[in-house]
Amino acid sequence: MTTQTTTRGRVARWAACALVAVACLCVGSVPARADDTPVRIASATPTAPEPGTLMPGNEIWMSISIRYGLDGSGTDMLDTVEVRIMLSLGELGQHFQVEDCQAIADTFWSGSHPDFKSKASFSPISCVLKASYYREARHAFYSMDESGHLQLRAPMEYFQQMADSFEKGTITELSYYAPSMVNGHCNFETSYSVIDEPLVANAHHNGCVWQSRQGTVIPITDEPLLEGDADESFTTYKQGTVGAFTDLVAPVNPFTLPTPEPTTDPSTGVSAAASGDRSEPGRSSSTGLLIGIGAAIATLLLIGTAALIIALRRKH
pLDDT of residue 294: 53
Confidence category of residue 78, pLDDT binned at 50, 70, 90: confident
Residue 93 or residue 53, greater confidence: 53
Using one digit for the tens of pLDDT, what is the confidence trace for 242-253? 999 999 999 988
Query: Of the spans 77-81, 99-103, 169-173, which averages the highest pLDDT?
Result: 169-173
261 three-state secondary structure: coil
pLDDT average, residue stretch 127-141: 95
Confidence category of residue 18, pLDDT binned at 50, 70, 90: very low
Helices (DSSP H) in the chain: which residue ranges?
A: 3-29, 98-108, 156-165, 232-236, 272-278, 281-315
Rounded Cα distance between 129 and 134, Å, is 17
Instruction: Return the percentage of the chain with pLDDT > 90, whole number.
Output: 42
In whole numbers, what is the pLDDT of the chain averaged over residues?
76
CB atoms within 10 A of CB 81: 21
Is the Cβ–Cβ distance between 115 and 121 less than 8 Å?
no
What region does 57 belong to: left with phi over 0, alpha with psi -120 to 50, or beta?
A: left
Is the Cβ–Cβ distance between 39 and 96 less than 8 Å?
no
For the cut 60, the answer to whether the pLDDT of residue 241 exceeds it is yes
For the cut 60, the answer to whether the pLDDT of residue 31 exceeds it is no
pLDDT of residue 71: 82
pLDDT of residue 9: 45
Confidence category of residue 308, pLDDT binned at 50, 70, 90: very low
Rounded Cα distance between 118 and 81, Å, is 12
pLDDT of residue 296: 52
Using one digit for the tens of pLDDT, what is the confidence trace for 50-74? 888 898 888 999 999 999 988 877 6
Question: Which run of H or of E encompasses 205?
Answer: strand 204-211
CB atoms within 10 A of CB 79: 18
pLDDT of residue 202: 73
Using one digit for the tens of pLDDT, what is the confidence trace for 270-307? 444 444 444 444 444 444 544 454 555 555 445 554 44
pLDDT of residue 161: 94
Residue type, 33: R
For the cut 60, the answer to whether the pLDDT of residue 115 exceeds it is yes
pLDDT of residue 295: 53
Using one digit for the tens of pLDDT, what is the confidence trace for 169-208? 999 999 999 878 899 999 999 999 999 888 776 778 899 9
